[in-house]
Amino acid sequence: MSDGTPADLFFDAAINLLQRLREEEAEAIGSAAALLADTVTAGGRLFAFGAGHSSLAAQDVVYRAGGLALMNLLAVPGVVGVDVTPATLGSALERVDGLASAVLDTSPLRAGDALVIISLSGRNALPVEMAQRARALGIKVIGVTSVAYATETASRHSSGTFLKDHCDLVLDSKIAVGDAELTLDPIPAPFAPASTVVTTALMQAVMATAAATLADRGIEPPLLRSGNVDGGHDWNTRVLDEYGDRVFYHR
């Protein structure tokens, strides 16, 4: 570790990653936003999925003030986060063959919808099979992953492929393998993961661009407002009533 406090160095690392996304993923962000806008315009529904800590970035764009009301969470019991005991169960479920097909076949997803699959490594069976099955069902897939894992680690899926290999569009989070930004001599392992900060920002950049894309087409983007500001509740009620057939988190 060089000069600066650990906090300074972490902020520097996160800012550097965000700047890389701004410069290197601008085209992909625009393409992903256009795909989502196309889906909304055509009457489709939007879903996001992530397992483990990747679920945090998915949850952040669902029922969110300032966010698109049409974004729904595709929740898989046991893998959404550290809400099971032991927590390692969630990691184990990510490696179970066939789980993704069972989830999609019993979910509200259908042809014409769009699904954002967030997986830092993109190497486990669940995200790989989910992307495969979704596309087979006619669902557009956006993958949010660290492409570095595909060259520096081995796939855990029988096909030997990664999430990135089964998507209509891929957003590369640029996170290094291991997801730890700092090292310090007395500490035996790298530490300070930045994937949640970076992936959440990447998702919000896509959402913001999608909203602006809809507006450019003359379509009012179905945005939610904070329920803690005057008029927010009434605004949200109107939006949810108008798009109720495409929103699944308030039923």
Residue recorded with tokens 């959404």? 80
Preceding amide of 86 cis, omega within 30 = yes
d(CA 29, CA 135): 20
Please report which helix (H) or strand (E) contains residue 174, including its range: none
d(CA 207, CA 55): 16
Q: What is the pLDDT along the chain (251 residues), one digit of tens a residue?
A: 457 899 999 999 999 999 999 999 999 999 999 999 999 999 999 999 999 999 999 999 999 999 999 999 998 888 887 778 888 888 888 888 889 999 999 999 999 999 999 999 999 999 999 999 999 999 999 999 999 999 999 999 989 999 999 999 999 999 999 999 999 989 999 999 999 999 999 999 999 999 999 999 999 999 999 999 999 999 999 999 999 999 999 76
> What CATH architecture is 6-246?
3-Layer(aba) Sandwich (3.40)
Give the helix ranges, DSSP H, for 61-178: 88-93, 99-105, 125-136, 148-152
> What is the pLDDT, as a whole number, of residue 93?
84
- Each domain of the chain, given as residue ranges in start order, spans 6-246
The first and second tokens of residue 44, run together, are: 């489709």
Pick from 229, 227, 222: nearest CA to 244: 222
Q: What is the pTM of this model?
A: 0.95
> What is the pLDDT, as a whole number, of residue 1?
46
Pick from 204, 169, 238, 188: nearest CA to 64: 204
d(CA 18, CA 39): 27
d(CA 149, CA 130): 18
